[in-house]
């Protein structure tokens, strides 16, 4: 049987301004009940990958709070695990805080018993079964497989992602930065299958090539220097990256659409997440809710349209929310009107009449703020 | 070394619950769904956890497998810690033969070994089908300070209803002087809740005596308590205040659900204070979604419910799908049920995974609660 480890690599996750000032992107709330990292971790679980290494750049305590002991994503809790690794030296020296330095600091690749490692970030939102990809990787005799998607929204949703030129034999001929000059492109999902031998080589070569290089940089390096066979695997499912606050809102609200939701949330592919023993959502007599996700523990007395309401949120009577995302434990007071607002957790909005943002000008209310 | 456990709770969860009709055809009553997310037994188990009781035995009999799997190692209620023991106790074969539990007291008698091993000072006897939020600490303190042999939790009921209950007559110090089972002429309005704190020594003695009595029905209310009264043991009443419901019938189960949906239960599930939280299983479901033409008012709905129709004064469980054009009033929709387009239902409990066909009308205009099942 093939031995596979999952590496959830958070080092390359983008920053979303204030929203990620105090937490890594992976622990940012999503659809009112998930953390973004849940998708990657559930992809591992559902693909029967029971040994998972999370490489964190920072924010380990926030992540640890979300992850608990990791048992939620683990099948056999004795044999499997979800480990969280942080390069503490890297915190003082962010330039050198790479995924490779994290691995070197915390793990000894030689000692880990595996045939293939899957390296995936948390910002690339998809429900992905790794099993057929591993089979394809094995059959192709590649050292590294880069998972990519052929997209028709490269000019809007995949800016600055890696654009690939894939040869007819499946090998990757060229990598470049996607500047969004055309809508159709093969875009790397920043997700890789790496054979153990290649992984060892990658780690050892990195010291010679550059201390600043990440796993992704090294793979791109091999694509040019051809000392490893790097092939592509075209993933056909729904995928979007979370690259900015505006895109975070746009892609979150997109999922209110049943047809889009059904592409990401697959019936045989549960997304596991930390649970909090919150009671069911409570709707008051004056509740008026349309096209929204409502998480448990929420108390809704006002008007809510095209919104995502998280756990334990209170929406008071006559409040009127459109296209908003409200994080855990925030309260929106009587009569407050809001559009295109992301309200971070524990905030209280009651002293303003109106907060009106736009699709491309999202208003962010900070964690714990009183507005 | 055997750790001393001051209090061990024993939860009686073996009943068939025939009055819940087909809801309990394949499910033990305590495992029946409640308030969109919970199962009835979550309430007494969470109360134990929140009272700092570490050892909990759950007596199972009818359809024990599902409830046994649900209870597991107690992790859902945090009862899997180093000093905890959560144990499901179904009837078993022993050197004396194999026996069903013949009554509530017999269920405990057959598990004397379990209690001896836990070695408690007090045994808390609970029912697995009561909805209430409490800490048992005060009741145990009263039992201790009053030096009683048994303390019985009582609740004031409407004097007109008193003849439906086991009624306790008490003196000025709330010592129980008389017990009347469903009396025609009640001597008080204090009804027994079927919640007892026994001193283990006294209980052990009475269980063994009762076991030898061929006339006994081996029931706490009918045999153990009357015998202790007769023997002039110290029986103390503990006055429970707050919301408490026995949900043994369809009507009472429906009513208690409505109390929560209409936010008038006095059983605050939304309490800011976490120390009395009711814990339960969280299912891995998609988020709850209310559709473009959906509406939901005066209701509760759990994670994974999809509401595309019109919902008022109802309880919608996980995985339930209310299609557009469906209309529900005063309904308790259990897990995975599907109400198709145009169906109209009033005052009903819809059993798990029932599929209601398009346009069907059920119980409209009726005050009687009906069960809709497969």
Supply the CATH number for residue A39's domain. 3.90.550.10
Q: Do B282 and A279 touch (CB under 8 A)?
A: no
Asked if residue A266 is part of any domain, the answer here is: no
Asked whether residue A90 falls in the same domain as residue A166, the answer is yes
Q: What is the model's pLDDT at position A51?
A: 96
Tell me how far apart the alpha carbons of residues A51 and A65 are, in angstroms, rounded to a whole number. 19
ipTM over 0.85: yes
Q: Do A277 and B277 touch (CB under 8 A)?
A: yes
Q: Which residues of B touch A33 (CB under 8 A)?
A: 287, 303
Asked whether residue A217 falls in the same domain as residue A353, the answer is no
Q: Predicted confidence band at B1 (pLDDT cuts at 50, 70, 90)?
A: very low
Q: What is the model's pLDDT at position B3?
A: 52
> Do B226 and B150 meet the contact criterion of CB atoms below 8 Å apart?
no
Neighbours of A224 (CB within 10 A): 11
* Domain end call among A261, A290, A321: A261
Rounded to 10 deg, the angle between the A60-67 and A37-46 helix axes is 50
> Do A140 and A132 meet the contact criterion of CB atoms below 8 Å apart?
no
Q: What is the pLDDT of residues B84-132, one digit of tens each?
A: 999 999 998 888 888 899 999 999 999 999 999 999 999 999 999 999 9
What region, left, alpha or beta, does residue B59 occupy, with left being phi > 0 and alpha being psi -120 to 50 degrees? beta
Asked whether residue A252 falls in the same domain as residue A146, the answer is yes
Strands A116-120 and A185-195: antiparallel
What region, left, alpha or beta, does residue A277 occupy, with left being phi > 0 and alpha being psi -120 to 50 degrees? left
Asked whether residue A58 falls in the same domain as residue A132, the answer is yes
Q: Which residues of A touch B293 (CB under 8 A)?
A: 290
Q: How far is CA A17 from CA A7, A122, A347, in A?
A: 25, 17, 17
Q: Is the pLDDT of residue B261 over 60?
A: yes
Q: Predicted confidence band at B4 (pLDDT cuts at 50, 70, 90)?
A: low
Q: Do B35 and A261 touch (CB under 8 A)?
A: no
Q: Find, in chain A, the residue whose alpha carbon is nearest to that of B294.
A: A290
Of B279, B298, B303, the CB nearest to A296: B303
From the list B340, B322, B350, the residue with the least C-alpha distance to B254 is B350
Q: How far is CA A321 from CA A316, B117, B136, B225, B300, in A?
A: 11, 58, 43, 58, 20
3-state secondary structure of B262: coil
In chain A, how many domains are there? 2
Asked if residue A273 is part of any domain, the answer here is: no
Asked whether residue A223 falls in the same domain as residue A337, the answer is no
Asked if residue A371 is part of any domain, the answer here is: no
Q: Which residues of B touch A261 (CB under 8 A)?
A: 286, 289
Asked if residue A270 is part of any domain, the answer here is: no
C-alpha distance across the termini of chain B, in Å: 52
Asked whether residue A173 falls in the same domain as residue A64, the answer is yes
Asked whether residue A193 falls in the same domain as residue A320, the answer is no
Q: What's CA A112's distance to the chain center, in Å?
A: 25
At residue B147, what are phi and psi to the nearest 5 degrees? 50, 40
B→A contacts (Cβ < 8 Å), by residue, are: 35-37, 263, 269-270, 277-280, 282, 284, 286-303, 315-316
Asked whether residue A288 falls in the same domain as residue A208, the answer is no
Q: What is the model's pLDDT at position A187?
A: 98
Asked whether residue A50 falls in the same domain as residue A105, the answer is yes
> Do A235 and A147 meet the contact criterion of CB atoms below 8 Å apart?
yes
Give the domains, in start order, of chain B with CATH numbers: 7-261 (3.90.550.10), 283-372 (2.160.10.10)
From the CA of A248, how many Å to the nearest CA of chain B? 17
Asked if residue A336 is part of any domain, the answer here is: yes
Asked whether residue A223 falls in the same domain as residue A292, the answer is no
Range of A47's domain?
4-261
Q: Do B298 and A283 touch (CB under 8 A)?
A: yes
Tell me how far apart the alpha carbons of residues B155 and B190 are, in angstroms, rounded to a whole number. 5
From the list A17, A22, A71, the residue with the least C-alpha distance to A45 is A71
Tell me how far apart the alpha carbons of residues A148 and A192 are, in angstroms, rounded to a whole number. 9
Q: Find, in chain B, the residue whose alpha carbon is nearest to that of A287.
A: B297
Q: Do B296 and A272 touch (CB under 8 A)?
A: no
Q: What is the mean pLDDT of chain B?
A: 94
Q: Which residues of A touch B279 (CB under 8 A)?
A: 277
Q: Do A279 and B37 touch (CB under 8 A)?
A: yes
* Domain end call among A232, A261, A290: A261
Q: Which residues of B touch A276 (CB under 8 A)?
A: 282
* Domain end call among A261, A296, A321: A261
Instruction: Return the half-sphere exposure (C-beta side, CA atoms, 13 A cut-off) of residue B287.
Output: 31
> Do B17 and B31 meet the contact criterion of CB atoms below 8 Å apart?
no
CATH assignment of the domain containing A340: 2.160.10.10
Q: What is the pLDDT of residues B270-315, one digit of tens each?
A: 887 778 899 999 888 888 999 999 999 999 999 999 999 999 999 9
Residue A168 contacts by C-beta under 8 Å, 6 or more apart in sequence? none
> Do A63 and A265 meet the contact criterion of CB atoms below 8 Å apart?
no
Asked if residue A83 is part of any domain, the answer here is: yes
Asked whether residue A20 falls in the same domain as residue A148, the answer is yes
Q: Do A283 and B288 touch (CB under 8 A)?
A: no
> Do A161 and A185 meet the contact criterion of CB atoms below 8 Å apart?
no
From the list B3, B8, B214, the residue with the least C-alpha distance to B108 is B8
Q: What is the pLDDT of residues A181-215, one digit of tens each?
A: 999 999 999 999 999 999 999 999 999 999 999 99
Asked whether residue A203 falls in the same domain as residue A143, the answer is yes
Tell me how far apart the alpha carbons of residues A14 and B79 are, in angstroms, rounded to a whole number. 40
pTM of the entire structure? 0.93
What region, left, alpha or beta, does residue B196 occupy, with left being phi > 0 and alpha being psi -120 to 50 degrees? beta
Asked if residue A276 is part of any domain, the answer here is: no
At residue B29, what are phi and psi to the nearest 5 degrees? -50, -45
Q: Is the pLDDT of residue B230 over 60?
A: yes
């Amino acid at each position: 049987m093939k031995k596979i480890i999952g590496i959830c690599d958070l080092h390359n996750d983008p920053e979303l301004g204030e929203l990620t000032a105090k937490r890594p992107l992976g622990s940012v709330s999503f659809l009112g009940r998930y953390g973004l990292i849940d998708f990657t971790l559930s992809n591992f679980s559902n693909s029967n990958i029971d040994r998972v290494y999370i490489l964190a750049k920072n924010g380990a305590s926030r992540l640890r709070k979300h992850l608990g002991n990791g048992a939620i994503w683990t099948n056999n809790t004795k044999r499997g695990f979800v480990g969280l690794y942080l390069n503490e030296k890297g915190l003082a020296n962010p330039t050198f805080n790479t995924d490779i330095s994290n691995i070197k600091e915390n793990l000894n690749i030689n000692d880990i018993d595996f045939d293939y490692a899957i390296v995936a970030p948390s910002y690339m939102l998809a429900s992905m079964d790794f099993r057929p990809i591993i089979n394809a990787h094995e059959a192709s005799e590649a050292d590294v497989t880069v998972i990519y998607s052929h997209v028709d929204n490269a000019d809007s949703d995949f800016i600055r992602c890696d654009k690939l030129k894939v040869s007819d034999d499946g090998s990757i001929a060229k990598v470049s930065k996607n500047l969004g000059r055309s809508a159709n492109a093969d875009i790397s999902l920043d997700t890789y299958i790496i054979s153990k031998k290649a992984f060892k080589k990658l780690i050892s070569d990195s010291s010679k090539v550059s201390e600043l290089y990440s796993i992704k940089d090294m793979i791109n390096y091999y694509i040019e220097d051809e000392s490893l066979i790097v092939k592509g695997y075209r993933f056909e499912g729904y995928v979007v990256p979370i690259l900015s606050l505006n895109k975070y809102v746009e892609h979150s609200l997109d999922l209110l659409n049943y047809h889009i939701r059904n592409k990401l949330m697959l019936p045989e592919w549960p997304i596991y997440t930390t649970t909090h023993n919150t009671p069911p959502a409570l709707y008051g007599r004056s509740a008026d809710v349309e096209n929204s996700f409502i998480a448990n523990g929420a108390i809704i007395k006002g008007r809510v349209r095209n919104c995502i309401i998280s756990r334990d949120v209170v929406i008071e009577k006559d409040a009127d929310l459109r296209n908003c995302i409200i994080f855990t434990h925030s309260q929106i007071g009587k009569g407050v009107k809001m559009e295109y607002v992301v309200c971070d957790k524990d905030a209280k909005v009651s002293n303003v009449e109106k907060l009106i943002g736009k699709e491309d000008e999202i208003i962010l209310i900070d964690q714990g703020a009183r507005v | 070394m055997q750790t001393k456990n001051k209090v061990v709770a024993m939860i009686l969860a073996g009943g068939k619950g025939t009055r819940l009709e087909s809801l309990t055809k394949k499910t033990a009553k305590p495992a029946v769904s409640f308030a969109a997310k919970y199962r009835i037994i979550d309430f007494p188990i969470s109360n134990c956890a929140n009272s700092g009781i570490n050892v909990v035995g759950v007596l199972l009999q009818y359809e024990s497998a599902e409830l046994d799997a649900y209870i597991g190692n107690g992790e859902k209620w945090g009862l899997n810690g180093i000093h905890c023991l959560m144990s499901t106790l179904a009837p078993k074969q022993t050197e004396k033969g194999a026996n069903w539990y013949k009554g509530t007291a017999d269920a405990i008698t057959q598990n004397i070994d379990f209690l001896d091993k836990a070695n408690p000072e007090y045994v808390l006897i609970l029912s697995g089908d009561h909805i209430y939020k409490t800490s048992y600490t005060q009741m145990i303190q009263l039992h201790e300070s009053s030096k009683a042999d048994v303390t019985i939790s009582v609740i004031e009921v409407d004097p007109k209803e008193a003849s439906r209950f086991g009624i306790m007559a008490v003196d000025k110090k709330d010592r129980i002087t008389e017990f009347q089972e469903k009396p025609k002429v009640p001597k008080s309005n204090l009804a027994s809740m079927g919640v007892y704190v026994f001193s283990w020594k006294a209980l052990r003695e009475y269980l063994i005596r009762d076991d030898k009595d061929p006339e006994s029905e081996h029931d706490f209310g009918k045999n153990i308590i009357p015998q202790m009264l007769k023997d002039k043991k110290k029986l103390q009443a503990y006055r429970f205040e707050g919301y408490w419901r026995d949900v043994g019938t369809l009507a009472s189960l429906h009513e208690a659900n409505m109390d929560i949906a209409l936010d008038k239960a006095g059983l605050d599930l939304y309490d800011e204070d976490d120390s009395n939280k009711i814990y339960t299983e969280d299912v891995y479901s998609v988020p709850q979604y209310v559709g473009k033409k959906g509406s939901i008012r005066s209701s509760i709905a759990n994670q994974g419910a999809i509401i595309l129709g019109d919902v008022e004064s109802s309880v919608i469980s996980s995985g339930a799908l209310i299609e557009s054009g469906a209309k529900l009033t005063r309904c308790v929709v259990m897990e995975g049920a599907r109400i198709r387009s145009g169906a109209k239902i009033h005052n009903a409990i819809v059993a798990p995974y029932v599929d209601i066909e398009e346009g069907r009308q059920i119980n409209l205009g009726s005050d009687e609660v009906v069960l809709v099942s497969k």
